[in-house]
Amino acid sequence: MNFSEYQLLTVLAQEMNMRKAAERLFVSQPALSQRLQTIEKAWETKIFIRSQKGLTLTPAGEEIIKLAQDVMMREEQVRESIQAMDRKVYGTLKIACATIVGQNWLPKVLKRYVNKYPQAKISLVTGWSSDILKALYDDTVHIGIIRGTPDWKGVRHHLFKDHLYLVDTEMNKLEDVLKTNRPFIQFKSDSNYYQEIQNWWHHHFQSTPKQTIVVDQIETCKQMALNGIGYAILPAITIQNHDVDIFKIPLLDEHNEHLERDTWLLGYEKSFELQQVQAFVEVVKEYIEETSMQ
């Protein structure tokens, strides 16, 4: 098979739908169907089974798709190696980023990056820190941005710390927490963030909240707090300057110091040899230096 046929099979395996795959490949469905039949004839086996619900891979098809994906990945690696030799910054920068950072901090950095390097492309996925680490271990991204303290043996750059606050529309001091009957709104996290909050809570109050609501996303947690449904503990990165109709009470530890969360940029050494990654790191450093002086 030639390279375009490997690409065709890879897109079909991703979409598992002839119409969607045809749209991505900029061909008509009949033309795509004809090319697939030609490929299956060359392999002398069915690769996909078609039905009204879409496509299903045959056992033989699974093996052929693995080959196609390997060829596509190897081709991209070769392109990146060639691009790394060039002075221009282009190619695809693959980032996996903790959702909270992807929503509140990363867009400002990426705006600078794309303005400075318009020929570069960006592939971004967001999720929990465990998802980010898995993407790094699987070598599907160049760099990862995670929250907390990472157990990572590769290259890592500390990006920033942000303080934690108890946020509410009514309470303006911590002692009021023991008096209110309104719920404590928490968001799910797979990092040590939840345990840190629990430890802080028990140290200060020696009790549990009277009522708790747990939500999936930090943005949902924030919006519920901003709308007066209850109170929440949020990192400073999520609290914007225009969020003025709320009280922000800093969380202090037993030494009367601010409770903080770290954010790190991680990757393997080979990734930091790529020019698009080096350029991104430089933009990040410039942005952090400028914002720290404001």
Distance between CA 96 and CA 144 in Å, rounded? Answer: 5
User: To the nearest whole percent, how much of the chain has pLDDT over 90?
Assistant: 60
What per-residue confidence (pLDDT) applies to 188? 80
Task: Please write the tens of the pLDDT for every residue from 69-128.
Answer: 999 999 888 887 777 666 567 789 999 999 889 988 999 999 999 999 988 899 999 988
Find tokens 């920068």 and name the residue: 93
pLDDT for the residue 204: 85
Q: Say what the pLDDT of residue 57 is.
A: 95
Give 77 or 242, the one with higher predicted confidence.
77
Please report the DSSP string for 130-158 in residue order. Answer: HHHHHHHHTT--SEEEEES-----SEEEE
Instruction: Please tell me which residue, 280 or 80, carries the higher pLDDT value.
Output: 280
DSSP state of 85: T
pLDDT, residue 77, reads: 85
Which residues have C-beta within 8 Å of that of residue 62, sequence separation ≥ 6?
Answer: none
Q: How far apart are CA 80 and CA 181, in angstroms?
A: 57
The CA–CA distances, whole Å, from 36 to 47, 75, 226, 276 equal 9, 21, 53, 35
**How far from chain centre, in Å, is Cα 86?**
28
| pLDDT one-digit tens code per residue, 121-163 | 999 999 888 889 999 999 999 999 999 888 898 999 999 999 9
Judge whether residue 193 has pLDDT over 90. Answer: no
Average model confidence (pLDDT) across the chain: 89
Give me the mean pLDDT over the 169-198 stretch: 85
The structure tokens 């794309």 sit at: 114
Q: Is the pLDDT assigned to residue 292 strictly greater than 80? A: no
Mean pLDDT of 206-232: 89
Its pTM stands at: 0.68
Task: Reply yes or no on whether the pLDDT at 269 is more than 90.
Answer: yes
